[in-house]
C-alpha cells in the first residue's frame, strides 16, 4: 500500500463517524497532511454543517500551505446549502488533492476536480475507489436513481425458518446480533415492515438496544387495508410522528383520521395485484428525502421485495437452531423460481460471527463490485 492509499484509508474511517447523521448528504472525511504528518482533520457531521474539507483546512490553518488534502469524495464546486469547497481549498494553498471517487451527482460530476486542476492544484483521483463507493453506496443510489437504497435483514434458523407456526420469533439470534441490527437501524432513514409483523410482534422499530439517539428512523408500515391496531407501539412512543402507514385508496376514513390524530402519516400508494405497489412506495419515500430503507419483515414482504428486485443489499443471520418441522414461517412467501439455476445469485462481501450466530453480508449480483471476500470474528 502506498502512502496515498494509507492516508485515504484513514480518511474513510474518519468519514464513517457521520454514519446515520448526514442523510441525504454523503459520508465525507478529510485529512490535511504535511511531511507525512496529519495537521488537520474533519468529517461531515450532518446536513447543513460544514463540509469535511472546510473543517480539516480550518484546523490546519497556515500549515495547509504546500500540504496534501485527502478527501474520499470529489470536493464540491457549486453553491448549495453551503459555499463551494473548491474556493476554500484554493485559498488554503494546498499543493495536492487526493480524491477517493468523483461525485456521481450528474449536476456536479468532475466539476470540482476540473476546477482545482485548472487552477494549478495537483490532482490524484480514484484512490481506493471501490472502498469509497461502498462507503457511500446509499448516496450513490439516491443521487443517481432518485430512489432509496434498500437493505433486507433476515434472521433464520439453520433449516430456514424465521418464526414458528404461531409467529413466534423471539429470539432466533443472540443479543450481539440484535445489537448489530440496532446499529443498522441507527444508520438508515427508515425501517420498513409489513402490517402482519406489527400485529404479531408489536415492535417499537427503534434502535433502543444501543441507547438514546437524537433522531430515530422513520417507521414505515405496509398496510394495504389499514389493519394496524391503534394500540400498536409504533403509535405510542415519544416519536410517533415518525410513523408512516402505506395504504391503498379504499380504506376506512374514520380509522385513517384516528391514526393521523396519533401523529402518524398515512400515505396512499398505487395498488398492484391487490397489494401495495412497493416500487411506488419507494418512490414516495424518496420524495420525503428518505435515502435508505431497512426491510425487517415479514415473509410476505421479503418475498415481494426479492421477486421485484428491489433489494440492494442483504444481511442474513443464521442461528444454530433447528425448528425441526415443516410448519414454520419461511424466509420468503410467494412463488419462488422453478429451478436452482434461476435462484437469485449473491455476491458475498463478508461473513461475520456474533457469538454462535453467523451473518452474511451480500449484494445481489446485479449490484456486485470487485470487493475482497472477508471472514471476521
- pTM to 2 decimals? 0.90
Dihedrals phi, psi of 58, to nearest 5 degrees: -65, -40
Q: What is the mean pLDDT of residues 155-166?
A: 93
Q: Using alpha carbons, select from 97, 146, 137, 135 the residue that is nearest to residue 117.
A: 97
Q: Which residue has the cell 455476491?
A: 347
Q: Give the SS3 label for residue 210.
A: helix
Please state which of the ranges 27-41, 87-101, 145-159, 236-250 shows the lowest mean pLDDT: 236-250
How far from 200 is each of 48, 121, 314, CA to CA, in Å? 40, 60, 23
Dihedrals phi, psi of 124, to nearest 5 degrees: -135, 115
Question: pLDDT category, 371, cuts 50, 70, 90?
Answer: very low
Question: pLDDT category, 370, cuts 50, 70, 90?
Answer: very low
Question: pLDDT category, 350, cuts 50, 70, 90?
Answer: very high
- Return the active site residues: 53
Higher pLDDT, 377 or 105: 105
Question: pLDDT category, 108, cuts 50, 70, 90?
Answer: low
Question: pLDDT category, 375, cuts 50, 70, 90?
Answer: very low
Pairing of strands 68-71, 96-99: parallel
Across 181-208, b (16+ Cβ under 10 Å) vs e yields bbebbbbbbbbbbbbbbbebbebbbbbe
The DSSP-derived string for 103-172 is ---TTTTTHHHHHHHHTT-EEE--TTHHHHHHHTHHHHHHHHHSS-EEEEEEEEETTSEEE-TT---TTS
The tens digit of pLDDT for each residue in 206-223 reads 888 776 665 789 999 999
> Contact 295/305 with Cβ under 8 angstroms?
yes
Amino acid at each position: 500500500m502506498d502512502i496515498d492509499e494509507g492516508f485515504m484509508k484513514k480518511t474513510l474511517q474518519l468519514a464513517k463517524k457521520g454514519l446515520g447523521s448526514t442523510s441525504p448528504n454523503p459520508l465525507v472525511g478529510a485529512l490535511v497532511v504535511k511531511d507525512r504528518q496529519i495537521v488537520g482533520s474533519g468529517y461531515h457531521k450532518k446536513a447543513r454543517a460544514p463540509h469535511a474539507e472546510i473543517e480539516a483546512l480550518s484546523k490546519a490553518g497556515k500549515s495547509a500551505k504546500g500540504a496534501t488534502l485527502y478527501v474520499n469524495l470529489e470536493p464540491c464546486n457549486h453553491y448549495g446549502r453551503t459555499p463551494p469547497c473548491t474556493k476554500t481549498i484554493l485559498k488554503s494553498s494546498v499543493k495536492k488533492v487526493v480524491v477517493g471517487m468523483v461525485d456521481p451527482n450528474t449536476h456536479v460530476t468532475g466539476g470540482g476536480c476540473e476546477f482545482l486542476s485548472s487552477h494549478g492544484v495537483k490532482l490524484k483521483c480514484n484512490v481506493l475507489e471501490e472502498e469509497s463507493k461502498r462507503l457511500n453506496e446509499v448516496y450513490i443510489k439516491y443521487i443517481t436513481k432518485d430512489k432509496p437504497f434498500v437493505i433486507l435483514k433476515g434472521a433464520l434458523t439453520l433449516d430456514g425458518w424465521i418464526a414458528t407456526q404461531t409467529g413466534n420469533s423471539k429470539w432466533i439470534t443472540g443479543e450481539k446480533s440484535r445489537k448489530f441490527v440496532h446499529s443498522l437501524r441507527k444508520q438508515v432513514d427508515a425501517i420498513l415492515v409489513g402490517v402482519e409483523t406489527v400485529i404479531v410482534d408489536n415492535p417499537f422499530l427503534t434502535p433502543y438496544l444501543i441507547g438514546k439517539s437524537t433522531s430515530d428512523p422513520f417507521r414505515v408500515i405496509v398496510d394495504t387495508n389499514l389493519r394496524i391496531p391503534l394500540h400498536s407501539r409504533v403509535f405510542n412512543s415519544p416519536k410517533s410522528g415518525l410513523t408512516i402507514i402505506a395504504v391503498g385508496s379504499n380504506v376506512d376514513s374514520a380509522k385513517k383520521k384516528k391514526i393521523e390524530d396519533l401523529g402518524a402519516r398515512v400515505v396512499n400508494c398505487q395498488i398492484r395485484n391487490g397489494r401495495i405497489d412497493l416500487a411506488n412506495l419507494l418512490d414516495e419515500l424518496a420524495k420525503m428525502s428518505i435515502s435508505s430503507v431497512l426491510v425487517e419483515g415479514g415473509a410476505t414482504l421479503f418475498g415481494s421485495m426479492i421477486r421485484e428486485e428491489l433489494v440492494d443489499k442483504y444481511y442474513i443471520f443464521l442461528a444454530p437452531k433447528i425448528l425441526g418441522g415443516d410448519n414454520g414461517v419461511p424466509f420468503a412467501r410467494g412463488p419462488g423460481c422453478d429451478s436452482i439455476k434461476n435462484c437469485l445469485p449473491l455476491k458475498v462481501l463478508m461473513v461475520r460471527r456474533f457469538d454462535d450466530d453467523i451473518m452474511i453480508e451480500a449484494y445481489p449480483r446485479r449490484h456486485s463490485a470487485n470487493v475482497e471476500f472477508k471472514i471476521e470474528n
